Structures are given as structure tokens and as C-alpha cells.
Amino acid sequence: MFVILRGRQLRLPPGVSILAASQFWASANAVISRPFTTRRPPPGVRENDSEKSFTLSYLVSSCGLAPEVAVRASSKLQLKSPEKPDAVLNLLREYGFTAADISVMVTRWPSVLCACPEKTLLPKLEFFTSIGVPLPILASKLSRNPNVLWYSLKNSIIPSHDFLKNLLGSNELVVQVFKRFPLIFGWCLAGDFSSNLSILAARGVPSSSLVSLVTRQPRVLTASPEKLSSQVDRAIEMGILVSKDAFLKAIQVLVGYEESTLKRKMEVYRQCGWSESDIRTAFLSQPLCMALSEKKILKSMAFLVNKFGCAPGDVARCPLLLGYSVEKRMKPRWAVAMVLSEKGMKNATVKSLLTVSEKTFLKTYVEKYKKDIPQLYDIYRDISRNAIPLPPKSPKKTIYTDTHLQILVCSSALSPLNSKSNFKSMFAILRGRRLRLPPELSILAARQFRASENVVFSRPFTTGRPPPGVRENDSEKSFTLSYLVSSCGLASDAAVRVSSKLQLKSPEKPDAVLNLLRLYGFTAADISVMVTRWPNVLSACPDKTLLPKLEFFTSIGVPLPILAHKLSRTPSLLWHSLKSSIIPSYDFLKNLLGSDKGVVQVFKQAPQFFGWSRADDISSNFSFLLACGVPRPSLVSLLTYEPRMLLAPQEKLSSCVDRAIEIGFDVSSNAFLKAIRVLVGFEESTLKRKMEVYRMCGMSESDIRTAFLGHPLCMALSEKKIAESMGFLVDKVGWAPSDVARCSWILGYSLERRMKPRWAVAEVLSEKGLKNVAITSLLTMSEKIFLKTYVERYEKDVPELLDIYRALSPLNSKSNFKSMFAILRGRRLRLPPELSILAARQFRASENAGPFTTGRPPPGVRENDSEKSFTLSYLVSSCGLAPDAAVRVSSKLQLKSPEKADAVLNLLREYGFTAADISVMVTRWPKVLCACADKTLLPKIQFFASFGIPHPILASRLSRNPTIIRRSLKNSIIPLYNFLKNLLGSDKGVVKVFIQAPQFFSWSRADDISSNFSFLVACGVPRPSLVSLISYEPRILLVPQEKLSTCVDRAIEMGFDVSNYEFMKAIRVLVGFDESTFKRKIEVYRKCGWSESDIRTAFLSQPLCMALSEKKILENMGFLVDKLGCAPGDLARCPLLLGFSIEKRMKPRWAVAEVLSEKGLKNVAITSLLSMTEKLFLKTYIEKYKKDVPELLDIYRGTLFSESCSLCNSCNPLRLHILNTHLQTLVCSSAPQVR
């Protein structure tokens, strides 16, 4: 082999010059290589060069480099003896560097072998370990970022560490930065970097956002301070709040792209139908929509508009959709939705269809309907991967329905949809046999799937197990239950629930508590409510915990009945410290109100105020508003009814006050504080959207100003509510938009519960000539006065009037559907045609009451069922569900009154749940509205918040994983938390797991997880690998230990090293596949030419090659062997190649390589050609030769694909034959070494 390397050439047929195996090196670690076709020997290899020969040998044998990689590395390195490199390697191994880490490091920085281990490497390694970087992470990061070791410890690394520690506050966070971006330790952070951080902090960017920016996008901070400052000003002018995550995303875009590039992208959006307002709305909502390529924008917009039927303006309000892959997400999901829609089984909004995760999509849209449409999963998978027509298959295997044939029309030809090169995605391909579709059919629906934007889905929830925490034969539990029923007056079922949070051993302490409460005026009902909401009150110390607070409240003059009533319903007051919370709140209120009477009044109306700990913020904002001229009574009222407004940052409150005064509000009027509530509570972009809706409804700028000055809360209405109310008042009632602007408070009335029923009554009276009324007086009067003035007064003249009114009022408890339909059948009354109430086939009800568009009541709503009617209305009006979703949810829920449900929603909002979060949670778990807010929800939410989960993340994760809330805190959640904390060492690690895999906390099998974890640790699996497993593949820990043990033994027998990460990949495959499936895949590999030894080699190298589908294996092996000329045995030594996409990676790159080879410009190894990143490929193969071959990029993108195909099909067969012969010759010559 070395003789060949010294430059002897292989004589080949004339006209074809191919150097002998100049770059194919065979060894025990041989990796597939394409034969080089250049006449010159490899760079850096000179004849009779013993040092170079030693260097090559050392790189292969000691450093584990592949021969072709060793040739390249040797051009930058010259070793004379093994002493120094051996010392370097020993030092690296001592600090946890694995063979793979060493190979990577030497490849990226060959000169590391010449470095002085004691002076150059050791001090830096010691420093990083001293600040707490774990050895496995240190090895992984430094091997892939070896330039960190080039930097001076004194002048670069230590100053960077000091800067980061001062910024972040602890070495733990510095280690987090090292994990995510180790290169930052080589930057000079004292210059522009520090200045830019100061600029952002001065503009009000939260420190948490700055930390995230430093760790994830530090390059933004390397821009010149002038440029960054100007772009920050520009983002603020656009209306993006600096406290939002969108602000830093906007800065990334504005700093990272030139103005000309942004203008080009804006022009593309205009061509797609967006107005200037749409572009602004999209950028404010999702700034990264401007980071998409122009081709991506055009492709995604075309599909969403032409296929899904979305209006461009709708896409602008949800620009997140543009970032999804057309091929990998939009097309296959659309096809599934088409099948379901055709079958009449499910309709979905575009947003809900595309934004859900793959797992949720499969569960909600595929698995749920697999009994009705067994082929649905196969259709989805075939669309997701089918780029090349499949081989014909016997028709008996698959039966196509008419619906299937309708959607098999327009598939993409060259890009498979769900084929990532990352092997993690391959593990998802575990279930089901592949559906082979006829080659002549492409897969995608030609017809448009148009879904209502208001549809929300719900998932069934069933339970039947006894309450968690109630064990049989438990004397203490039995005593607790008995005490709760007999002494506290709880109902039996309530006592069972409460007993899961309480354990009483004797009656002494609870008796003392109850006696104290009775002494202070607590009735039996008050005690029952308090114990229900705060069971642990019975375990509290009456003399130390309760008595001082009760005495304090009575000392300021709170009457005992009021004290008992308020504390029993707000027991959280008694949790708070008297000294640190209650007394400071009292002092603030007394100084403000001047007397204890005022404080008592606040206690009566808002007792929860005494539990807040932010009295200083409230006091500061209160004083500011007082200084602005707001009357003290108005502020006292604000403090009582809207105290949260006083918690806003004073800078924001000040700017809102200035703006309200500029608009024309009088600070002494009540409308001023309402305006402040709106300006503080809504973002600028939201207010602009609402103003745009008013404009669309016909209001001028002057009208909008008039409406806002008259009733500021008209801007707090939803856009849908504004459009519906304006439509009714203008189209039905006949008002001009300017008239509505002068009475803007009318817009806040319910269309279904007030406007339509009262308008129907007024129309009847007007038709009869009995009464004509002003619409303002008609709508603004109370219910009692309306019934007296408009219904009872004319009962003799129009006996049916009350029935008409009740029939159109969905929330009226006396609604009678029979009487309504009697009226609808037109027995006596002639109603105006526009009301559609006479002998009509359809009863036109509001969108808010559900789709009542037939003569029958909607599904799930029975006649004379007022509770169901109330439930429907509550789901729509309070929970924000779409009408059809509310109908589905109402079949699993029955609300009798709003009290409990309101308490649940108030609790959720208090913990940061947005309207969208609440809608999602109620859809996924309707019975949350029947849950006890204080007993079921509050303890669990408080627990999660107590160990550091931010409220927005808590709300987002719990709303989408409500199963967590249904688990027992004591028996499930806390044991899982304790397990994770013991494993990870801190709450931060637990929070990270909650963020990445919240479903972990929804499992009730903590013992199984802990047992399997301990088993794997005992087997020698490294702790970091198991921590990663818990975050990304936790389900493996839920398999029975017998099966896990069997798979571990099998993997060890195969030759896997338990300390290697490949071991866990092997376990994933062995656990996830049946033996029969595993054998089928092995058989496929045999058919492709692999021997038993080849299969074993491939599996040991890349276990996830067994997770590939049989179709994927056949296609990739066929292409690599037949087209690229690789031998099957060579592929077994580099099975990584099998995971790459033929259409998205192999074919385009092969076409480029062929063109360069034909031109005599470059010859490459297949492994390097296919395995390098997209960015590196473009740089190495496209940009480098664009002057010589200008059309190269077009060939790669596919615009000149036919030409590249002609290269492969016409002039290349001889070349391929020669190359194949050459490859076989080299393999044969190296065979003894391989063996």
C-alpha cells in the first residue's frame, strides 16, 4: 500500500487516467472511500519520507483516524518519535477523553500531538475542571472545539470566566455556558461584547434573556455597539417590548441581515399577498419569519394559500406556520386531514393541525381513527417518505377506498418528508408494516382541505381508580377520615380527597385548632370550607401559627363573622408570615387610607391583598399615580378591585400615563384608570390589531378615538367579539358605525344573551305597533326592568313574548325547547323575515352558542336541559372554546353553576395561564373545571412553582400535559421529583427535565423507573448517559426489568461496551423491536449482500441502522452499491451512510461530484462527500468552484437536474465500471490487513 502511496501509477486503458489507490487506505478500521482520480499523490505525501510514514502509521494506530483522514492530517503534522504524542494522549485519557474524542480532536487540531502537555494543555484542563466542568463534557466539548486550548489561559480564558461569573453570578451557570458554547472562552469579552450587553441591559432587557442570549446567540453581541444600538432603537420603534423573547429574536434578524436582504424578503411577502400591515404583524409576532429564505417563503405561502385555503392575512397573524417544512409536515398532515374530512370524522384548523408535535399528531389524528381507517397510518408514512416509486406489490396486501384514491394525486417527486439524516428520528419508525402504494400514484390530496379556524380538539379522559393515597387497613387514615366527617362536617367523598393530604394520629391538636376557630366566630360551614381548602390547618400549631394572626385581624376591627367568612375562603392568608407580609401590608394600607376602617373595608372586599409581598412596588406606583393627579378615592377603588395594575414596572406605568393624557383623558375621571388598565394590560401590536378591526367595521380614526375616550374597555374586547357585535348593530339594528362609537359600552354586551333576545322582543312589539324603543335603553337596562317593561307589560297582547325571549336566550335557566320549536313552527306569531323565526327549517343561533343550524338540538344537548345549555355557553364565553369544540367537550362535562369553574380559571390565570393555555387545557381535560381549585390544583401547581419552574413554562407544559395534574402529589409527583433531584443534584436539573419532558411527571411508576435506573447503573452505564436518557428517551426505563435485563445481556454478548453511548442506542433498538421485526431487517441486509460478520460490524458501529425501515435499507443500499459503486462489505464498516436521504443528500451531492470529476477539478471520498454538513459542502464543493462551473449551484438545487442525470447516464458507465474495478482491486489487496 505504501508503495502505491509513493506514487506508482496504475496503467489503465488509454483515454482514462486514474491514479492507483492514492487515497484508499485499508486497515482494521477501514472506512469506505471513493477512489481518487487525480494523477498527483495526496498532498503532503513525499517519496522516501520515513517521518511522514511514521506520522501516518501513528495517526491510524494510536489516534484511531481513518486512513484517508490520516493522510489529510499528516499534511499539517510531522512526528519524529512517539514520546511527546504519547504523553499528550495519556493526559487526555486521564481527563476522560475517549478514543472517539481523541480521534475528533486530532482530526480538527493535528498539532495537539506536538503540544507540551504540562505547559500548554494541563493548566487549561485543570482550570476547567476546577470550575466544575464534568470530565465527560470537558472531553466532548474540547475535542470538538480544540481552538479553546489554543488561547492563553491568563489573557483569554480566565478573563472570559471572570466576566461570565460576574454576569451570571455562579460557576454553575458558567459551566452551562461552556456546555452550550465553549468557544466564548476564547473571545475578548471586555470590548464590544461587554458594551453590547450594557446597551441591552440599559434598554430594559431582562437579565434572564441576556443570559439566554449569551449562551445561545452570542454572535449577536459581537456586532459593533453603534449597529446594535441603532437596531435596538429600530426594534423598539416597531413596537416590540424589550421584556419579550421576540425582542431579542428581532435583534438577531436586524443585526444578522443586511437592509437589502430584508427588503428583498419583504418584497417576496408582498408578492404573496401581504400588505404592509400584514408584514408588520408577522414580524412583531415571529421576527424569525424574516430569517427564512426567499424560496422557503414562496413555497410555504403557496401551499398554505393554494392548498389549505388560508388567506395571506391569516398567515400573517400566525407566521409560525411558515417555518414548518412543506414536505415533512404540511403535505403528509394535509393528506391525513383530507381522509378524515372526507369520512366526516374530523375537521381541524390549519394551526392546530400543523403546530402539534409528531407524537400528538399521531395520537390525535391517526391512532384515534385506526379502527375506522386502518390504512391511515400507512398513508401518512408513505407520504412522509415516498420520493421514489415503490416496487410493485401484490394488490391483495392493500385495499384502497375511494377516499384514498381521491387523495393519491399530487406528491412531491424528489424530497421525502420525514427522512432526517439524524438517526434519532429513525427510532420513531418502530410500528406497523409499510403500505406500498402503486407506483403510478403520487400521494397528496388535490382537493383543498379547508377547516374552520375555531376548531379545537379534545381527548377522552376516563378514570375509575380510587383516590390516590387511600390505602386499606390503615388505622391512621381511617381515624383521619372519621375525624373529618364527624368533627369537621365534611361529606364522605370530600373527606376521602382531603385525607390524601392529611394524616392525623390523635385528636388533641385538631381539637385545639377547631376550638380556637369556634372561639373566633367560625361556624360549622366556615370550618368545613377552611378544612376543605387547607387541610393542614388541622396540623397547625394553634398558639403559634393561628392565634397571633387572628388576634391581629380582630385588633384592627374586623368583625368576627366577616373574619371567619373571609379567612375560611382565603386560608392562604394564614400561611403568610405575620411579621414579613401581613403587618407590612396593613401598615401600607393604613398610611394610605388613614384609618383602620378603610383597612377593614379592603379586607372585606379583597382579603388576598394581605398575602402579597410586593408592598413596596404597590406603594411606589400608588404614589406616582397620586402625584399625577389621580383622585385618592379612585386609587382606593383601584387598590380594591384591580390591584394587579399597581404591580407593573413604574417605567411602563409612567409611559402609559403619559400616553393616556396625550389621548385626552382627564386624570380625575374614572375612565382614566380604565384606559391605564388597557394600555398596561395589552401590547402595542394587540391594540393596533383591534383598531384595524374597528376600521374594517366602518369606524374612522375619529370614531375610534371617540369610542376609546367614552369607554376605554372597548379596546379590551376580543377581535372576534368586536366584529360580531359591530356586525349585529350595523347590519341588523341599522346603526351607523359612528353611532356605535358614541355608545361604545354597548359592544361589551353579550350578543347571544342580551342583544339578540331583546332585539327579537323589540321587533315583535314594533311589528304589532305596541312599542318603539331606543336601542341604548333597550340594551342597557337590567334584566328585571327589561322583563317588567317589555315582556310582562305586554303579556296580554302577545302571550308568546316570554317564550320568544327565553328561546333566544341560551343561558336562561327556564329555556324550553319545546315551546321554542312550537313558536318556530309558526303557530300564531308573524315575525320579521330577517329573524328567521317563522316556520323555518333552521333555527339560526349564534356562533357562540354552538352550531344550531338544523331543526334538531345540537349533539349532546337534550331538550329541557338547562345545565347543558349553560355548560356550552360557559365553555365558549369563559374558556374561549370554539362552538363545535364546546359541543364535543360538553358531552364529558356538566356544570351546574359558575362558582367552581370560575375558581379554577382564576387560579390558573393567577399562575400565568393565558387564554390559549386555558383553552387547550379545558379541551384536553374538560373535568378540570369540576376539580377543586384549592385541593386538587393549587397544591400541585404550588409544588412545581416552589422548585423554580417559571410560570409561563409551567402554564404551557401543564396545559398540554394535564395528566400531570391528575396524578397524586404524594404518591406520584413528589416521588418522581425526589428521584430526579437525587439523580441530578439540584432543582435546576429537575426544571430542565420538566421543560424538555414534562410527561415524565405524569407517570405513576416511579418505583419501576428507579429500579431500572439502578439496574443500568449497576451494569456500568455512565451516569451522564442515563441522565440524557431520562430527558430524551425516558420510556425505556418503563419496560419490565426482566425484558431490560435480557436486552442488556444480549447487547453485552454482541460486544457493546456499556460505557459507550452506542450501548444505550443498542438497548433502544432491542427494547423497541420485536424479535420477528429484528430478524426481518437482518434478512433484508443479507439480501443486499451482507454477511453475518458485516451485519454484526454495522450494528456494533451504528446500532440505529436496525431502526431503519426495510424500504429505506433497500433503497439506500441499492443506490450506494449500484450508483456509487460501493461494495456491500464496505458499507457495513460505515453504516452511517444508510441513514442519509437519497433525494435530499445523496443524489444532489453525487451530481455535483460527478460534474467536478468530469471537469478534472476535484475527486472525493464518498464518506466525506455525504457526511459533511450542508454549510461545509456548499463551501467546499460549490463556492470554491463557482468561477469554473457557474451552473454548479443550479445543478445542486435541481434546476439543471436533467443535465446532471445525463452525466450519470451517458458518459459515466465506463467511468463507473473502471472505478468499481479499481475499488475491488484495492479491497482485495488490503484484505489480509483487514482480516
List the one residue out of 346, 906, 138 whose CA is nearest residue 572. Answer: 906
At 772 the three-state DSSP class reads coil
pLDDT at residue 129, as a whole number: 93
Cβ neighbours around 880 below 10 Å, total: 21
**What type of residue sits at position 485?**
V
| Residue reference for cell 417605567 | 651
List the one residue out of 359, 394, 400, 395 whose CA is nearest residue 379. Answer: 400
This model's pTM is above 0.85: no
Per-run averaged pLDDT (10 residues), the chain, 1235 residues: 37 37 34 38 48 85 89 87 92 93 92 90 92 92 88 86 82 84 74 79 80 76 83 86 84 88 90 88 90 91 87 88 90 87 75 87 86 83 52 38 38 36 34 36 33 33 38 64 90 86 89 94 93 92 92 93 91 85 85 82 80 68 86 78 74 89 88 90 89 90 90 92 91 86 90 89 82 79 87 84 75 39 38 37 34 36 59 89 86 86 93 92 91 91 91 91 87 85 82 81 71 84 79 72 87 86 86 85 90 89 90 89 85 89 89 85 81 88 86 74 40 39 38 34
List the one residue out of 442, 374, 433, 431 whose CA is nearest residue 406. Answer: 442
Cβ atoms 862, 869 nearer than 8 A? no
787-794, Cβ contacts within 8 angstroms, sequence gap of 24 or more: 790/758, 790/761, 790/762, 790/765, 791/761, 794/765, 794/770
List the one residue out of 704, 625, 707 whose CA is nearest residue 668. Answer: 625
* Burial class of 776 by CB neighbour count within 10 A (0 to 12, 13 to 18, 19+): middle
Print burial letters for 953-992: b (CB count within 10 Å at least 16), e (below 16). ebbbbbbbbbbbbbbbbeebbbbbbebbeebbeebebbbb
List the one residue out of 887, 818, 806 whose CA is nearest residue 851. Answer: 887
Gap between the Cα atoms of 961 and 925, Å rounded: 9
The residue count of the chain comes to: 1235
Cell of 1233: 490487513
Residues 6+ apart with CB under 8 A from 467: 496, 497, 500
DSSP 408: B
At 444 the three-state DSSP class reads strand
Helix or strand (DSSP H, E) at 760: helix 756-767
CA separation (Å) from 457 to 449, 924, 931, 955?
17, 7, 20, 19
* Burial class of 335 by CB neighbour count within 10 A (0 to 12, 13 to 18, 19+): buried
DSSP 575: G
Q: What are the backbone dihedrals phi and psi of residue 44, each rounded to the nearest 5 degrees, phi first?
A: 85, -5
Residues 6+ apart with CB under 8 A from 1012: 1036, 1037, 1038, 1039, 1041, 1044
pLDDT at residue 1064, as a whole number: 85
Cell of 1061: 453511548
Gap between the Cα atoms of 548 and 577, Å rounded: 10
474-480, Cβ contacts within 8 angstroms, sequence gap of 24 or more: 476/503, 476/504, 476/505, 477/503, 479/504, 479/505, 480/504
Cell of 35: 477512489
Gap between the Cα atoms of 292 and 360, Å rounded: 26
Half-sphere exposure of 1180 (CA within 13 A, CB side): 15
Cβ atoms 423, 1102 nearer than 8 A? yes
How would you classify residue 125: left for phi > 0, otherwise alpha for psi between -120 and 50, otherwise beta? alpha
List the one residue out of 430, 424, 334, 338 whose CA is nearest residue 384. Answer: 334
Cell of 677: 388598565
Rounded to a whole number of angstroms, the distance between the first and last alpha carbons of the chain is 16
pLDDT at residue 556, as a whole number: 92
- The domain ranges of the chain are 188-256, 258-323, 325-426
Q: Which residues pair with 408 in a beta bridge?
A: 444
Kindly calculate the radius of gyration of the chain based on its CA atoms and give it in whole angstroms.
36
pLDDT at residue 90, as a whole number: 94
Cβ atoms 443, 383 nearer than 8 A? yes
Gap between the Cα atoms of 719 and 745, Å rounded: 15
- Give the torsion sign (CA, 625, 626, 629, 635): positive
Half-sphere exposure of 257 (CA within 13 A, CB side): 21
Cβ neighbours around 521 below 10 Å, total: 17
Gap between the Cα atoms of 518 and 512, Å rounded: 10
pLDDT at residue 788, as a whole number: 86
pLDDT at residue 976, as a whole number: 84
Cβ atoms 676, 653 nearer than 8 A? yes
pLDDT at residue 614, as a whole number: 58
